[in-house]
Each structure stands twice: as structure tokens, then as C-alpha cells.
Structure 1
Amino acid sequence: MTQFLKVCAIIATMDGAPAMANDAAIMFDYDGTFDDATFAIEDAIISKGLVIDYRSHTGEMLERTRADVGSDVVIFDAADVFLFCSATVSRQVMEADPMNVVHCPYSIFVADQAGKVTIGFRDYPDGPMQVVEDLLTEIVEEAISF
């Protein structure tokens, strides 16, 4: 399963839990609109000197294809996933274990379900990947305090 599909699976299983959902994602409530949250996340990523490689409009895709797959369920009012990497952090975790490449690029999602905006990212394995989790936490905390 690709990183993108894993992120989609995490988002699709979100049930509004305040901290963890199925031990797969670390989530934070955002007190503001979806647009404000996506702007804050984008700004926080860029302020770390990182480049956003791709912004997936996952919510739009799910809504656009809802009828095509035979569903009448609206999952999100909006949901985007930001994909990016850090040369410094990536080198650190891949020097510790080259197979940590499986975790790259890193992603942060923003999702709106019935007006409740959540920002989060996957829970990385203990060990060298903790530095990635720390970076993502810093980015989200900066966005939340924006």
C-alpha cells in the first residue's frame, strides 16, 4: 500500500477521537475553519524551510467519486493531505536504517467533518522515526497557535 493510500485509509477511519484513532494517527483539534487550518499548515511547513511536494485534495476526490462507487455517504466536508520531506531529518532517519525510506515523504492531513476541523499525521514507529514525529508535531503545534 502506498503512503498516499495509507494516509487515505487513516483519514477514512477518523471518528473524531481527540488524540488517537486506531493507534494509526496523532490528531489535534483545530479551532477555526478548514481554510484557516490549511493555510496555517502550509505556512508552518514553509516556515521550517521545507517544500510541499504535493497537496492532495482527498475530500474533493472522495466526494467527486462517491456516486461512481455506489455510495451516498459524505465522509468529509473537506480534507487535504500535504506531502513534503526534510533532507536533514530524512538523512538522519535513513542513515539509522535505510529502509526508513518507506516513511518518506511525510504527510499532514487537515480534515473537516461537520464543522469539526482536525489536523494530524500518522504515528511513526519508535526509534529513529521519533525525530520525524517530533518535526510533524512542531509543525502542527505552530499551525494551531497561528
Structure 2
Amino acid sequence: MLRNLTFAALLAAGPALADEIVTYPFDGTAEDAAFVIESAIQGQGLVIDYVSYIGQMMDRTGADLDLGPSPVGDSARAFLFCSATISREVMEADPMNIGHCPYAVFVAEIGDDVVVGHKVYAAESMAPVNDLLTRIAEAVAE
């Protein structure tokens, strides 16, 4: 019964807002960008919880599946981290924001360009996270 009520409430709420990805050009190598991202995150007083080596995984699985090299470059990676104060703020506003934590900033090689990017959360309650991610990415892109 509760499941049916929850589903009905979701339908009544209307369509979900879509998150977006924003990128910033980086003048240098992906390896250089990765170092600057790490420094920018730590410069905000944050600890990196995990680094996901996406490009290496794409190369490895691409070779196994005969798909070729990574479409995001072999140095592509995402840095995952959290901010206790900002996470508390957004989860106080909406406890379901737990689903967005940890947050990530990534570097990738798209074509001949190196880009730094992050997700932009559509929910208004995630504005403090969007501000944090923008500060970090803009510091890297400078």
C-alpha cells in the first residue's frame, strides 16, 4: 500500500528536472589538469575520498571488447569528495539529496581539447553544491 502511495505521489509531482554537465577548457595536459583539480579541492579544505581512473578503465575494457581507445582519453579521471558543511545544508533542505553525495569534478580529453567539468544539479536545494563545484572548476580553468 505504501509503495502505491509513493508511486502516486511521484506521478503527481510531475517530471524531474534534468541535471546538466558543464565543462571548462584547460590549457595544458590532462595530467596537469588532474594535479590542479586535486590542489583546488584541497584548497577548499576538502579531502578527496576517491579518484576514479575512467580513461584507464575505458582503455582496458575497450581492448577487451575490441572497441578501441577511450573516447575521453587515457588520463580521464573523476575526483570524488564531500563537504560536511555543504552536505549538511543541502540534506537539511532535502534529505533525498543524500543520493548526490559524493560530488565530483572530472578531467577528460575530448577530441584535441582538455576539459574540466562537473555536474550542475537542477534542484534548487543543491545550489550550494553547484557553487562549490563551480568555484573548484573555475580555479582549475584559470
TM-score, normalised on structure 2? Answer: 0.81
Q: Partners of 1:96 and 1:60 in 2: how far apart?
A: 37
1:1-146 pair list within 5 angstroms: 24-77=20-73, 78-145=75-142
4+ aligned runs moved over 3 Å, structure 1: none
SS in 2 for 1:65: helix
Query: What is aligned with 1:16?
Result: none
**Structure 1 vs Structure 2: percent identity of aligned residues?**
48
Query: What is aligned with 2:9?
Result: none
Q: Partners of 1:60 and 1:106 in 2: how far apart?
A: 21
Q: Partners of 2:112 and 2:100 in 1: how far apart?
A: 30
Q: Deviations over 1:92-118 (max 9, x none)?
A: 000001110000000011001344101
Q: Deviations over 1:8-44 (max 9, x none)?
A: xxxxxxxxxxxxxx96301111111111111110000
Q: Partners of 2:30 and 2:86 in 1: how far apart?
A: 28
Q: Which amino acid aligns with 2:132?
A: L
Q: Would you say how many aligned residue pairs link Structure 1 and Structure 2?
A: 124
Q: Deviations over 1:20-69 (max 9, x none)?
A: xx963011111111111111100000010000000010000000111222
Gaps of 5+ in 1: 1-21
Aligned-CA RMSD value: 1.6
Q: Deviations over 1:62-95 (max 9, x none)?
A: 0011122231354132210000000000000000
From the CA coordinates, give the structure whose radius of gyration is larger. Answer: 2
Q: Which amino acid aligns with 2:123?
A: D
